[in-house]
Amino acid sequence: MKKPFTIFLFLLILLLNFKQKVGSKELGREIICQQLKAALWDLKNNDKLKGFELKFDNRIRDGWGFDGPIANIYTAKKLNVKPEDLWSQDKDKIGEIFKSFEDKPFKSGSKVKLDCLPKSRHTNTIISKLDNSTMLLHVTYSRLGNEGLSGVIYLFFFDEFNNVESFYETSWIS
């Protein structure tokens, strides 16, 4: 009698754990969509896109692209200091934040089917997230064949209601 009951409890715990993971994944998708809509609305209202159509990759990167000036801005915001005052802060805290996104491969992250994103054949925008309060959009404007690419990176910070608190923009070329 104890054995069937123990097996039943074990299966029930597994089922509840699975539902919890699926529920949290759905919540993550919902947050990403809310933040993406807020970010796009902000870009359109600031005339940043100027008629340019963003075509999103369906892989949400987990920290790829947080390098260069974006790394300094992100780290300063997380430490609640101005970017120019960042390097006068505790180096251990800075290093801990940098390790969260350092050396991330391009294909890091996971493919996520988001209902808020239309299917795109030739993508020009990559989404990268490190936490629930930030989103990075890596946009390619010009493809120059084998010679290189150019574009812009937008780093968005969101408040607890998923509204855009602030955003930063920097151009890139490769």
Least trusted range by pLDDT, from 8-22, 112-126, 127-141: 8-22
What's the mean pLDDT in 6-11?
A: 57
- Contact yes or no for 140/150 (Cβ under 8 A): yes
pLDDT per residue as tens digits for the range 39-75: 999 888 887 777 788 888 888 888 888 888 888 999 9
Spell out the alpha helix ranges (H) of 52-121.
69-78, 91-99
List Cβ neighbours of 15 (8 Å cut-off, separation of 6 or more).
none
Domain boundaries, the chain: 2-66+104-173
